[in-house]
Homo-oligomer: A and B are copies of this chain.
Amino acid sequence: MKESLGPASTVYPEPVFIIGTYNDDGTPNAMNAAWGGIANENRIMICVDKGHRTAHNLVKRGAFTVSMADEDTVVACDYVGIVSGNDEPDKFAKAGFHATRSDKVDAPLIDELKMCLECRVISYDDDEMLIGEIVDIKADPDVLTDGKVDPAKLKPITYDPVNRRYYGFGNQVGRAFYDGKALR
């Protein structure tokens, strides 16, 4: 018999997305977001509070990037979730991040994060749901196996909203579109 825990914004896994944008003065900005996921073919949805500097930036430039936080960058990725770009305009540099301009959209790639989506803003509505078209994905060669992203090398992290913890990926436990055939 299951227990009732009440409503909450909890699923497993939740991502740790680092959203990259340019401020009005051209300096890069980054924030941490756990509410979001793939919305459709080559589309991403992220809930971005209107109060964030990132919200202002992405509307103005019509673009943003989404990098995957990983085990090697937990402290920096947590930092950009704690500190507001409104209070600390220099937060990107203080995180130890360096930016490279995307060749696809008007937004910065973060050199220290190894996989990044370059996105064009499709919509950003009153419900604070940002929808972006994934124009390209960029990744460091050292996280690829046979030209494809390998999570064992990328080491992405996931956010546990109940206990406020970050977890790494564990072992492979199955093959998708395969294991279920045993029941067919």
**Are A159 and B176 also in contact (CB < 8 A) when A43-B9, A169-B167 are?**
yes
Please tell me if the beta carbons of B12 and A176 are within 8 angstroms of each other in the complex.
Answer: no
Q: How many of these chains are in the complex?
A: 2
Chain A residue total in the interface (Cβ 8 A): 97
Residues of B within 8 A of A137 (CB): 4-8, 10
**Complex interface bits, A113-137 against B, C-beta within 8 A gives 1, otherwise 0:** 0111100000000011100011111
Please tell me if the beta carbons of B157 and A173 are within 8 angstroms of each other in the complex.
Answer: yes
User: A residues near B, CB below 8 A?
Assistant: 2-15, 17, 34-45, 47, 66, 68, 71, 74-83, 94-96, 100, 109, 114-117, 127-129, 133-141, 144, 147-151, 154, 156-160, 162-184
